[in-house]
Amino acid sequence: MNNKILELQHIKREFVMGTEIVRALKGVTFDVHAGEFITIMGSSGSGKTTLLNILGCLDKPTDGEYLLDNVNVSGLSRNELARLRNHKIGFVFQAYNLLPRTSALENVELPLFYNPELTAKQRKDKALGALESVKLADRGDHTPSQLSGGQQQRVAIARALVNQPVMILADEATGNLDTRTSYEIMALMQDLNQLEGKTIVFVTHEPDIAAFSSRTVMLRDGKVVKDSKNENVRSAKEALEALPPADDY
């Protein structure tokens, strides 16, 4: 059986800017197996977000082949892509992207409105379940401004999980968070990966965040320059315990 969930072959993405062509991805090739937890690293402008947007079917490559769960996405219509994305992929962004005047529970419910078969009660129950899994069931009534940054990110993760996707794509999801809160998010990611078998592709600038994943793909200037297994995956729970108590800083 082929358990490759992502297959990228010679992926290129070019943006036309007036008379200039920006070559953001210059032939990226790698596979991700189901159940892997990989980080994508690289300096600013190296193509990480461009790549993640293609992986998440938010954007299409200019050239090359992309198979998502053995389906060649280049042949799919816009509607088919949206369906695939909604069923298989949960997104988490650096800026949380929650609706401001909307409760945590309703924010988590949003992706479920694309499924006409669900009743209002079923939507609510699913959203509550997802909030429980990020330990925020008691904050369902709070709007984003009534939550800390880490809690907002956990709501965003609950929203990403509510459709039970097989894969989570995260773009600098700890970029706005302090060390402790970042480690809490990484502990949640490790649980989702290890206990629930979710495949995770996590973009980050920070080597100490990459240490929590089992493989790192390094981009430079639109190309993969390194793709290495991490033999000593760090436990985010242990890293949390090793931090000084919160009051000390």
Ligand X SMILES: Nc1ncnc2c1ncn2[C@@H]1O[C@H](COP(=O)(O)OP(=O)(O)OP(=O)(O)O)[C@@H](O)[C@H]1O
User: Which residues bind to ligand X, rule: CB under 6 A?
Assistant: 15, 17, 22, 24, 42, 44-50
Amino acid identity of residue 119, one-letter, is T
Choose the contact partner of 27 out of Mg ion, ligand X, none; CB within 5 to 8 A by kind: none
Q: Is the alpha carbon torsion for 160, 133, 151, 47 positive or negative?
A: negative
- 85, 6, 38: which is closest to 193 by C-alpha? 38
Residue 24 near which of Mg ion, ligand X, none (CB within 5-8 Å, type-dependent): ligand X
CB of 195 to ligand X, least distance (A): 29
- Residue 133 or residue 213: which is nearer to Mg ion going by CB? 213
β-strand partners of 215: 38, 229
Tell me the per-residue interface mask from 36 to 65 with Mg ion, x by CB under 5 A, - otherwise: ------------xx----------------
Beta bridge partners of 223: 220
Q: Which does 129 bind (CB under 5 to 8 A by kind): Mg ion, ligand X, none?
A: none
What is the smallest separation between the CB atom of 44 and ligand X, expressed in angstroms?
A: 3
Residue 186's φ and ψ, nearest 5 degrees, are -70, -35
Asked if residue 103 binds Mg ion (CB under 5 A), the reply is: no
Nearer to ligand X, 35 or 45 (CB): 45
Question: Between 93 and 212, whose beta carbon lies closer to Mg ion?
Answer: 93
DSSP string, 49-107: HHHHHHHTTSS--SEEEEEETTEEGGG--HHHHHHHHHHHEEEEETT----TTS-HHHH
How many residues sit close enough to Mg ion to count as binding (CB under 5 A)? 2
Tell me how far, at minimum, the Cβ of 43 lies from Mg ion, in Å.
10
Report the residue number, 93 or 147, with the smaller CB distance to ligand X. Answer: 93
Nearer to ligand X, 1 or 17 (CB): 17
Phi first, then psi, for residue 236 (nearest 5°) are -70, -30
Q: Which does 215 bind (CB under 5 to 8 A by kind): ligand X, Mg ion, none?
A: none
- Nearest to ligand X of 17, 246 (CB atom): 17
3-state SS string for 101-145: CCCHHHHHHHHHHHCCCCCHHHHHHHHHHHHHHCCCHHHCCCCHH
Q: Contact, 149 vs 113, CB < 8 A?
A: no
How far are the Cα atoms of 174, 179, 243, 244, 245 from residue 249, in angstroms, in the given order? 19, 11, 10, 8, 8
- What's the min distance (Å) between Cβ of 17 and ligand X? 5
Choose the one of Mg ion, ligand X, none that binds residue 46, judging by a C-beta under 5 to 8 angstroms depending on kind.
Answer: ligand X
Give the footprint of Mg ion on this chain (CB under 5 A). Answer: 48-49
